Amino acid sequence: MPLVKKPDPTAIKSGIKAAGMVGVRKTLQGVQKRHEDVVKPWKSKDRPKFIPVVKRQHNAIFGFVNMEGENAEQAHKTVWQLLEHGTKVRFMQLSGNWQSKTSPRQLSSGPGAGFKLGIDTKDGQPGIVAREWSDTVGKAEKPNADRNIREAWANGFQIMIGR
């Protein structure tokens, strides 16, 4: 009977973690693209940048797409933040033919119409309806995330056993 060398447990553990990181990174690229597709028609000054972040902590791998400047102290919220989370009241007065470029839970932007008339703090209008893009993207990308991580782990195992 030929002698068979057992795989190194440390190498297996490292390989599994590396494969998991690959799966998470691939998933975050899809999430980043969906976010960027929403803001593609926006004016460049209003268009945020989205940065995928993958972290490993103890035995867990996690990732998220961070909006540039989202965690920084800001005197005002960005257009993305106002639309993502919505507001209770809106003081910006809009023209009568106003049409928003975006809609709640839709991962696209249209041309929109109308213009801003100015701010009137004495005449509060109904607030901005939250677009909830982060939740919508998460639900849309879940099947891809599951598949990406399964494929990455399978590839990692194949590499570890030398196939």
The domain tally of the chain equals 1
Q: What value does the mean pLDDT of the chain take? A: 80
Q: What is the pLDDT of residues 2-39, one digit of tens each?
A: 666 666 767 667 777 777 788 888 888 988 998 888 88
pLDDT above 70: residue 143: yes
- Assigned domain for 78 exists: yes
* 82: containing domain: 9-160
- Assigned domain for 127 exists: yes
Q: Among 55-59, 68-72, 157-161, name the most confident range.
A: 55-59
- Assigned domain for 149 exists: yes
- Assigned domain for 2 exists: no
Distances (CA, A) of 52 to 5, 44, 97, 126: 39, 20, 37, 34
- Assigned domain for 4 exists: no
What amino acid occupies position 24? V
- Assigned domain for 114 exists: yes
- Assigned domain for 1 exists: no
Tell me if 86 sits within 8 A of 73, measured CB to CB. Answer: no
